[in-house]
Structure 1
Amino acid sequence: MTVSGTIKVTQAGTRVQASHKGNVKTVVFKARSDNAGDVYLGGDDVSSTAGMTLSPGESIQFQLTTPASTSQFWADAVSNNDQVDYIGSA
């Protein structure tokens, strides 16, 4: 089963949790190319100093040993309304 979604950071500096769309073993996150600045991806402690930095248009793929909920991922951003899209599969 393939799942997908978007994390929208409406207020810069405020981390936002991905919605639970299903459990995934492989997931790709991509910062939108029209984002105004960097976004940060990580767990519930993600911030500009703790997490993976994605510049506009960049992507990262995670391969997990055990399936995990998409809600285990969080994003933060430098600029208001920047977004990260994701797609994954079990």
Structure 2
Amino acid sequence: MTVSGTIKVTQAGTRVQASHKGNVKTVVFKARSDNTGDVYLGGDDVSSTAGMTLSPGESIQFQLTTPASTSQFWADAVSNDDQVDYIGSV
């Protein structure tokens, strides 16, 4: 089963949780190419100064040992309205 979604950081500096779309073992996150700044990916403690940095257009793939909910991922950004798309599978 494949799941996908988007995390939109409406207010820079305010972390946003990914919606629960299902449990995944493999997930790819990609910062939108038209973002105006970096986005940060992490857990519920991610911030615009701490997290895995994705510049516009960059992506990262996670291979998990145990399936995890997509809602365990959070994003923050330095610019309002920047977005990160994700797609994953079990």
Q: TM-score, normalised by structure 2?
A: 0.98
The alignment's C-alpha RMSD in Å is 0.5
Mapped pair 1:80 → 2:84: no
Count of residues in Structure 1 that have an aligned counterpart in Structure 2: 90
User: Which aligned runs of 4 or more in structure 1 are off by greater than 2 angstroms?
Assistant: none
Contact residue 30 and residue 84 of structure 2 kept, 8 A: yes
Q: TM-score, normalised by structure 1?
A: 0.98
Question: 1:48 offset after TM fit, Å?
Answer: 2.5
Question: Which digits, 9 at most, give the CA deviation of each residue in 1:30-71, with x for residues without a partner?
Answer: 000000000000000001232100000000000000000000
Aligned counterparts of 1:58 and 1:52: Cα–Cα separation in 2: 11
Residues 27, 89 of structure 2: 8 Å contact kept: yes
CA shift, 1:87, in A, is: 0.1
CA distance in 2, matches of 1:49, 1:37: 12
Structure 2 counterpart of 1:67: 67
Task: Give the Cα–Cα distance (whole angstroms) in 2 for the partners of residues 14 and 53 of structure 1.
Answer: 15
What SS does the corresponding residue of 1:20 show, helix, strand or coil?
coil
Structure 2 stretches of 5 or more lacking a match? none
Moved more, 67-76 or 46-55: 46-55
Question: What is the distance in 2 between the residues matched to 1:49 and 1:81?
Answer: 17
Cα distance between partner residues in 1 of 2:2 and 2:52: 23
Maintained 8 Å contact 2:12/2:48? no
Please give the per-residue CA displacement for 1:68-88, whole angstroms capped at 9, x wherever unaligned.
Answer: 000000000000000000000
Listed as ranges, the gaps of 5+ residues in structure 1 are: none
